[in-house]
Each structure stands twice: as C-alpha cells, then as structure tokens.
C-alpha cells in the first residue's frame, strides 16, 4: 500500500529547551543517533519526560533539532516543513474532525491533495477494509467508540501512503483490554501495509508485544537499542533491566575462574557462572536475575529465608532474603510443586544460563 518504505536516520540529534521554573537551558534530547530500517516497527520507550515524544515530533517536523541532522531515506529533512515530509502521525487524542463522518475524515487529506473523486473513493474504501471499518463510512466520528475512533485516525494517516508512520501513545485513552487487542491490530496493519512505523509509549508490555526494535530512553539519552529479547535478556545497565520487566540485582565479586566458568561470590556463597564474554573491572559485578529465572528448593546455590509467599494462580510469588538482599521469585504452575511458607529456610536455585552479569 505504501509508495516506498523509508528508513529514518538520526545523526547526533539534540534538542534544548528552557526549564520553565529555573529558566535554564537543558537537553530534552542529547546526542541521539538512530538507524531505523525501512519496514521495521520501532518503539521509543522510557519513563515520562525522557524525550521520546520530542524525538517523534522532530521526525514529524513539529520541532526542529538544535544539533544534528535527521534523514528520511537518503534525504536530509531538517529544513523541510511538516506537510512536505513523507510522514503521517497518529495522535493519542485521535485529532478527528468531530462534525465529519468517517468517510470525510479519511478523505480529508486526499481532498487537500486535490485527487479526483474516484481515486479518493477507491483509496478510502481500501483503507476502511484494512482497518476493519467497512460499512461505517457515514457514521459521525463523535458517535464512535474509542477503539473505532483510533481506527479512523489510523486510516486517515495510512490513506496518505506516507513513507513513515508515527504514533504518539495512540492507545493511552483506551481501556486495558482494548489496548491489548488494538496493539495486535496496529502490528497487523503495519505489516500488511508494509510501512515503517515509529511508536512512542511508556508501556513496556506494549513495546515488547509489537516491536522489531526497542529504543530505551533515559533522561534524553539513548540507553539501549535492541530487539525485545536483547533488551530483556542482555540489558546494558540497571535502569534498562529494571524498566523492562522485573529484575533482582545481586552484588557479587569474582573469586576466580575454573575452565569456562567464573566463580562469583554472592553473600559468601560461591556460584558458577558461564563466561559469556563479560569483562569484570575491579572484580565487582552485579548479577541480574529475573523472578522467573529461579525457583526455590531444599538445596541449591543461595541459602535464603522466605518472607512472602503468595498464590497468584498461574504462579507462586515469593520474596526471600539472601543475607541483606531481598529477591523476588515467581514459580510458574505451582499446583504440583512444593510451596514454601513465610519463615521457611530454602535455597534459591537459578538456571545459570538465565542470568546476566553487569
């Protein structure tokens, strides 16, 4: 459907704003370089205020970078106005025309481009089928549900056949269940349309579910770029590990090496960890352990005491103390497993391949 899939490149892009309270300049986005491949679905993810919307708005042309250059395909676009850029944006607020029906909302941009009536009808009909709104042409948009309005907003952007589709938290106004079904829909439509998509969210499960690549932002700086699996299993620092999913951090010290395994001292217990090319500066390290990467047993690597044991249906949730460190463990399918109660002594047993060292 799209004319041409376009990649997006940012080269050392920064945006400086003035803090309204202190009146001092600060970097909302600082020295961010990105290479977004044509046809991929890329998500900018991070806590509120980390600069993700500012990056999206600079790509759309609503803001201009103070430093660096943005490329759409091979073209440098800093000096090009938003309406001349080959991008379209889907907003959180939908931004539909309230007194127009579905057809006219979608046709609006095509009419501005002065396409003939028959071409407009064909394009709008095709897009309505793609977003699952056939037969809704004459309904007024203010009489539609939130999910239907978001489909119209998506159709209105897609019908322009942009090289790149930009999404600014498009599902934030929908309830949790609808968000989950709409995100799957957005992914399907993006793949069917074969379009490059850049999507802003602060919802990590949304990002994991739909993205080819996730860009994690922290305070205006790019913290990590990778596939959902890379970000989850090989986070580059504690911020990323903690932001994506849950993580336990165990402080350790390298006590030696036998063959291809490091011996790590954690709270005076020696555990063996495979050498995955880690470099240990100064010998100290942090072991990242996901709650589902460990179980409790009567013997194992780290002796512990249970301080919380909670049945959650599909898993048993434990909090245990290893020395002074609290560790969260989720044991899935607990029905036929031994359940440890508060006060029990046990051992944390982890699969050495499911941990990651920082």
102-112 and 146-158 helices cross at what angle (nearest 10)?
A: 20
CB 84 within 8 A of CB 239: no
Nearer to ligand ATP, 47 or 194 (CB): 47
SS3 content of the chain, % helix, strand, coil (to 5): 30, 35, 35
Among 8, 10, 42, 46, contact with ligand ATP (rule: CB under 6 A) = 46
Minimum Å gap between C-beta 169 and ligand ATP is: 7
Residue 178 has which token pair? 């609808």
Tell me: does residue 51 bind ligand ATP (CB under 6 A).
yes
CA–CA separation, 315 and 243 (whole Å): 22
The HSE-up count of residue 81 (CA atoms within 13 Å, CB side) is 2
Site string (177-216) toward ligand ATP, x via CB under 6 A:
-------------------------x--------------
Minimum Å gap between C-beta 179 and ligand ATP is: 16
Nearer to ligand ATP, 55 or 106 (CB): 55
User: Which segment (51-59, 102-110, 279-287, 344-352) binds ligand ATP by CB under 6 A?
Assistant: 51-59
Q: How far is CA 187 from CA 90, 198, 207, in A?
A: 14, 11, 11
Among 2, 10, 13, 28, contact with ligand ATP (rule: CB under 6 A) = 28
- The radius of gyration computed from the CA coordinates of the chain, to the nearest angstrom, equals 25
Sequential DSSP letters for 244-310? SS--EEEEEEEEEEETTEEEEEETTEEEEEE-SS---STTEEEEEE-GGGEEEESSSSEEEEEEEEE
Q: Residue 161 is inside which H or E element, if any?
A: none
Place of tokens 């042309």: 61
How many other C-beta atoms can be found within 10 angstroms of the C-beta atom of residue 353? 11
Nearer to ligand ATP, 131 or 215 (CB): 215
User: Which segment (52-60, 74-82, 185-193, 315-323) binds ligand ATP by CB under 6 A?
Assistant: 52-60
Nearer to ligand ATP, 46 or 228 (CB): 46
Site string (4-23) toward ligand ATP, x via CB under 6 A:
-------------x------
Among 6, 52, 151, 156, contact with ligand ATP (rule: CB under 6 A) = 52
Question: Can you name the residues that pair with 295 across neighbouring β-strands?
Answer: 349
User: Which segment (33-41, 50-58, 85-93, 99-107) binds ligand ATP by CB under 6 A?
Assistant: 50-58
Among 2, 34, 42, 54, contact with ligand ATP (rule: CB under 6 A) = 54
Tell me: does residue 50 bind ligand ATP (CB under 6 A).
yes
Q: Residue 121 is inside which H or E element, if any?
A: helix 117-130
Nearer to ligand ATP, 53 or 301 (CB): 53
Among 48, 81, 333, 336, contact with ligand ATP (rule: CB under 6 A) = 48
Chain contacts with ligand ATP (rule: CB under 6 A): 17, 28, 46, 48-54, 202
């Amino acid at each position: 459907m799209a004319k041409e899939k376009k990649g997006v490149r940012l080269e050392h892009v920064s945006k400086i704003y003035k803090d309204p309270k202190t009146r001092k300049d600060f970097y909302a986005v600082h020295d961010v370089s990105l290479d977004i491949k044509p046809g991929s679905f890329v998500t900018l993810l991070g806590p509120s205020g980390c600069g993700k919307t500012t990056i999206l708005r600079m790509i759309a042309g609503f803001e201009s970078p103070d430093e660096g250059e943005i490329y759409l395909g091979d073209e440098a676009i800093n000096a090009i106005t938003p309406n001349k850029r080959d991008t379209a944006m889907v907003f959180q607020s939908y931004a539909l025309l309230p007194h127009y029906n579905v057809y006219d909302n979608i046709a609006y941009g095509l009419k501005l481009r002065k396409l003939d009536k028959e071409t407009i009808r064909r394009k709008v009909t095709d897009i309505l089928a793609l977003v699952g709104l056939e037969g809704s042409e004459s309904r007024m948009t203010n009489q539609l549900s939130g999910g239907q309005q978001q489909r119209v907003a998506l159709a209105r952007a897609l019908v322009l056949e942009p090289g790149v589709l930009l999404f600014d938290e498009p599902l934030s106004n929908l309830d949790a269940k609808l968000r989950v079904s709409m995100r799957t829909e957005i992914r399907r439509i993006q793949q069917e349309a074969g379009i490059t998509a850049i999507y802003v969210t602060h919802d990590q499960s949304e990002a994991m579910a739909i993205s080819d690549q996730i860009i994690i932002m922290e305070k205006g700086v790019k913290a990590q770029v990778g596939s959902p699996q890379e970000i989850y299993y090989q986070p580059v620092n504690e911020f990323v590990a903690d932001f994506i999913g849950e993580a336990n951090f165990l402080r350790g010290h390298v006590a030696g090496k036998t063959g291809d395994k490091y011996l790590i001292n954690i709270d005076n217990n020696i555990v063996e960890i495979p050498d995955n090319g880690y470099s240990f500066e100064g010998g100290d390290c942090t072991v990242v352990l996901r709650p589902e990467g460990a179980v409790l047993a009567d013997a194992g690597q780290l002796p512990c005491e249970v301080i919380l044991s909670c049945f959650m249906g599909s898993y048993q949730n434990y909090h245990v103390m290893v020395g002074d460190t609290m560790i969260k463990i989720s044991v899935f399918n607990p029905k036929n497993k031994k359940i440890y109660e508060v006060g029990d002594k046990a051992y944390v047993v982890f699969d050495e391949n499911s941990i990651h060292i920082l």
